[in-house]
Amino acid sequence: MKTQVCIIGAGPAGLLLGNLLRAEGVDCVVLEQRSPDYVLSRIRAGVLENITVSLMERLGLDARLKAEGLPHDGFNLADGERLIRIDIGGLTGQQVVVYGQTEITRDLMDAADERGLQVIYEAEDVALHHVDGDAPYVTYRQGEEEFRVDCRFIAGCDGFHGPSRKAVPASVGMEYERVYPFGWLGILADVPPCNHELIYANHERGFALASMRSATRSRYYIDVPLTERIENWPDERVWDELAIRLGPEAAADITRGPALEKSIAPLRSYVFAPMRHGSLLLCGDSAHIVPPTGAKGLNLAASDVHYASAALVGYFKANDVDAVAAYSDKALARVWKSERFSWTLTKLMHRFPEDGPFERAMQVAELDYIASSKAAQMTIAENYVGLPV
C-alpha cells in the first residue's frame, strides 16, 4: 500500500490527526494494534480544553460533545478545611468541558469510515523503517499475512509504549523523566457526582479527586502507593477512603454504587525531545506523559496534532518544508508549559513519602496564598483552561 502519511495508533491523537488530514485531502492510513472495542474500553481523560473542543468543531464532529458535554466555569481545591474555588470562567472568560475520552474516540471512530479514513485494527508487529530518509515505510502483520505501507511521513501516535519513539536513534533523542512514588486508583460508577464541579483534595491520608462524566456518572480517584494492588480495594473501601479524603461537606453528598471500572494508573512526568526525526513526527503520549493532576494529557495530544496537521497539510499543499522542520520546537514549547503546570499541581496536592514538616508547611502556605490571591488563582485558571496554541 502507498499513502502520504502512515499514522501509528488509533487513540485520540491518531484518530484526530487522521480525520484532520482527510478533511484537507491528504492521504493517510491508521494502524492500530488493538480492536475498536478494546480502544473504547480504556477509561481515561475527562476534561477538555478549548483546543480539543475546537478541533472537533473544525471537523464538524462536535454535535454530541455540544449536546452531552458539561461546560465547567470553575473547579475546587480542598485543603482539609475549606474549598478554594478557582473561578476559571470569571478569571479567563473561558470554560473547560467535561466529556470523556471514550466519547471523543467514539465520535472520531464513527466518522472515519464516512470520511474515507482507513483504520486498520489488530495490526500486529508494527515496525518503522528508514525514518531518517524521505521514503520511510511501515510493516505489520495480520494473522499470517505481512503488509507494507510506503509513505512520505510517519506520525507516531502510539502512546507511551508504542514502537515509534524507539525508532529514533538513542544518539539523537533526549529523555526527561520524573516517576512519582504513587499511582491513582480510579473508580467509575453510575451515580450522580457529589458536587457539580471537580474537587481536588489534599488530605493527610492522601490525594482525592471527585470528577464526573455526566449528571449520572461519576469518576473518582485516590492516590495509593505504587506497590498497592487493586484486589485490596473492594468498592466499599474506596468509597470509605474518598469520604474521608474529600472532607465532610463533599462526603455528605457522595452517592455510592458498584464500580463499572476500577484500576490503578502510575504517575509519571516524561518528555522526549526532539518530537520529529527525519520523516517521523511524534504526537501525544508517544512523546510525553504528564501526571493526570492538571488534566492535560489528552489536551496536549490535541495541540500536538493541531501543529502536526498544519505542518503536514502545508507540506503536501504548498511544498512548505519549513513547517515540518519547525514542528518539534513549536509543540515542545507548549508541552513544557503543561509539564510544568501538571508537576506543580501534583506537588501541591499530594503527600510525598519523602516530604517532611517543611515541605508540608510549604503546601499549606501555597494553598493559603492561592485562597487569598486573585493573581495566584489567575495563574492556575489560565493554565487549567489551556495556554494558547
Question: Mask: binding to ligand RFL, 67-106, rule CB under 6 A, as x and -?
Answer: ----------------------------------x-----
Question: Mask: binding to ligand RFL, 280-309, rule CB under 6 A, as x and -?
Answer: ----xx------x--xxxxx-x--------
Chosen from ligand RFL, ligand PHB, none, partner binding at 117 (C-beta under 5 to 8 Å by type): none
| Sole residue written with cell 457526582 | 193
Could you say which of 203, 277, 296, 306 is catalytic?
296
Chosen from ligand PHB, ligand RFL, none, partner binding at 34 (C-beta under 5 to 8 Å by type): ligand RFL
Chosen from ligand RFL, ligand PHB, none, partner binding at 136 (C-beta under 5 to 8 Å by type): none
Question: Mask: binding to ligand PHB, 57-86, rule CB under 6 A, as x and -?
Answer: ------------------------------
Rounded Cα gap, residues 99 and 45, in angstroms: 8
Residue 295 interacts with ligand PHB (CB under 6 A): yes or no: yes
CA distances from 211 to 54, 70, 76, 305, 319 (A): 22, 12, 11, 26, 45
Total residues interacting with ligand RFL, rule: CB under 6 A:
37
Chosen from ligand PHB, ligand RFL, none, partner binding at 293 (C-beta under 5 to 8 Å by type): ligand PHB
Chosen from ligand RFL, ligand PHB, none, partner binding at 157 (C-beta under 5 to 8 Å by type): ligand RFL
Sign, CA torsion 33/37/41/46: positive
The residue from 33, 293, 328, 338 that contacts ligand PHB (CB under 6 A) is: 293
Question: Mask: binding to ligand RFL, 30-49, rule CB under 6 A, as x and -?
Answer: -xxxx----x----xxxx--
Per the annotation, the verdict on 200 as an active-site residue is yes
Rounded Cα gap, residues 153 and 5, in angstroms: 5
The grid coordinates listed for 217 are 456518572
Per the annotation, the verdict on 137 as an active-site residue is no
The residue from 14, 284, 292, 386 that contacts ligand PHB (CB under 6 A) is: 292
Per the annotation, the verdict on 306 as an active-site residue is no
Cβ–Cβ contacts within 10 Å for residue 83, how many?
18
Question: Mask: binding to ligand PHB, 188-217, rule CB under 6 A, as x and -?
Answer: ----------x------------x------
Rounded Cα gap, residues 320 and 227, in angstroms: 50
Rounded Cα gap, residues 224 and 242, in angstroms: 12
Residues 6+ apart with CB under 8 A from 319: none
Binding piece for ligand PHB, criterion CB under 6 A, among 45-53, 244-252, 261-269, 323-331: 45-53
Strand order, beta sheet including 153-156: 118-120, 28-31, 5-8, 153-156, 280-282, 276-277
Name the residue nearer to ligand PHB (CB basis): 78 or 311.
78
**Is 278 within 8 Å of 153 (Cβ atoms)?**
no
Rounded Cα gap, residues 359 and 355, in angstroms: 6
Rounded Cα gap, residues 242 and 257, in angstroms: 13
In the chain, what is the straight-line distance between the N-terminal and C-terminal CA atoms, in Å?
Answer: 34
Could you say which of 292, 306, 327, 330 is catalytic?
292
Rounded Cα gap, residues 270 and 344, in angstroms: 14
Rounded Cα gap, residues 21 and 306, in angstroms: 10
Residues 203-262 close enough to bind ligand RFL by CB under 6 A: none
Q: Can you spell out the DSSP letters for 327-377?
A: HHHHHHHHHHHHHHHHHHHHHHHS--TT--HHHHHHHHHHHHHHHH-HHHH
Binding piece for ligand RFL, criterion CB under 6 A, among 10-18, 86-94, 232-240, 272-280: 10-18
Per the annotation, the verdict on 234 as an active-site residue is no
Nearest alpha carbon to residue 234 among 255, 212, 259: 259
Per the annotation, the verdict on 166 as an active-site residue is no
Chosen from ligand RFL, ligand PHB, none, partner binding at 268 (C-beta under 5 to 8 Å by type): none
Write out the residues near ligand RFL by the rule CB under 6 A: 8-14, 31-34, 39, 44-47, 101, 123, 126, 157-159, 161-163, 184, 186, 265, 284-285, 292, 295-299, 301
Residues annotated catalytic, as ranges: 72, 200, 292, 296, 384
